[in-house]
A and B are shown apart, each in its own frame.
Chain A
Amino acid sequence: MASPYKKDPVNPMMSDSELKNIIKTRLPEAGENPWFVNRVMNRLPDKPDKRVISWAERSCYIIASLILVGIWVTTLVHTYLFGLTTARILIAALVPALSLVCAVIVAAPSIRKIIHSL
């Protein structure tokens, strides 16, 4: 029996739409598999905490902490020696705020993990 797809032998190339039609209609479908999603979900492992702190990140944390401690000490010493000025009040307000922000940024992943595990 002659093939229904047989083309003119002089120009045997098929158009994209013809090929698309053949491929779409004749290729097998994957079909419904009601267990597939359950199987995938049952195989999902718990994600390991991939938050790897690189040495560069660690160094930044240490340097930032040292700078903060330095500013604290300098502010306290200067306040003790030269009295309270506007600039020193400003620094005294900013430094704790900055310390708090840094602490939250560093501690946030751990806090999130604890909340998530509850």
Chain B
Amino acid sequence: MISRLEEMKLLALCMATDNREAFSRLVVAYQEPLRRFILNLTDGDYCLTDDLSQETFLKAWLAIRSFHGMSGFKTWLFRIAINEFISYKRKAANSTSASDLSTVTLADESTSRHSATEAALDVTVMLKHLPDSERIVTLLFYLEDMPIKQICKITSMQVGTVKSYLSRARAHMAKFLNNN
């Protein structure tokens, strides 16, 4: 991890002189948490994770001058990643004509039964059953240890909405863990 001061210095270099070396240091510093977050968003799909992570960094590079430093670079990066993920999901849903994945919940009995027999206590399966918004908020809060305010900045949601999603996710996860 790099210090805030170091991060600001690298960002200034990227903005002022398009310094690739500085950007590569930012990629090195943030690739691990970003890839872990995307990996768990994509149900453990490593190839898709690398694709989305690369796209996220590319978008960040191209738009780095629009980063005003109001939030941290990590917050900004995660926001881009979530947008990339949502856009990927939309494209995938359009191409397969699948129903909206965000509507898949624990109430979906066939999926629950299937998952329960295949991977009883798999936390990945548990997260897979959460709607996208709940999963995003859960991962940011529990996995990335981000405070609610930071999650609000990343997801552009209100504090109450984030808390509500967290509460629902908590109930869903408790139900899943108890059923298994």
Contact = CB atoms under 8 A, between A and B. Distances in A.
Given A24-B143, A44-B58, A37 B31 contact: yes
Contacts of A3: 120-121, 177-178, 180
A30 B170 contact: no
Given A23-B143, A28-B44, A14 B18 contact: no
A44 B20 contact: yes
A7 B177 contact: yes
Nearest to B138: A23
B171 A36 contact: no
A23 B123 contact: yes
A50 B65 CA distance: 10
B151 interface: no
Contacts of A36: 27, 31, 35, 50, 53-54
Contacts of B127: 27
Nearest to B18: A47
A35 to B, nearest CB: 9
Contacts of B178: 3, 5-7, 9, 12
Contact of A47 (B38, B62, B139): B62
Contacts of A47: 18, 61-62
B101 interface: no
A118 interface: no
B123 A33 contact: no
Contacts of B53: 36, 40
A36 B62 CA distance: 18
Interface in B101-156: 120-124, 127, 138-139, 142-143, 145
Interface in B43-77: 44, 49-50, 53-54, 57-58, 61-62, 65
Contact of B142 (A19, A28, A30, A39): A19
A23 B127 CA distance: 9
A29 B139 CA distance: 13
A106 B10 CA distance: 27
A16 B141 CA distance: 10
A7 B174 contact: yes
A13 interface: yes
B24 interface: yes
Interface of B: 17-18, 20, 23-24, 27-28, 31-32, 35-36, 38-40, 44, 49-50, 53-54, 57-58, 61-62, 65, 120-124, 127, 138-139, 142-143, 145, 170-171, 173-175, 177-178, 180
Given A5-B178, A7-B174, A39-B54, 19 more contacts: A14-B170, A16-B142, A19-B170, A26-B122, A27-B36, A27-B127, A30-B38, A36-B50, A36-B53, A37-B24, A40-B27, A40-B54, A41-B20, A41-B27, A43-B58, A45-B58, A45-B62, A47-B62, A116-B18
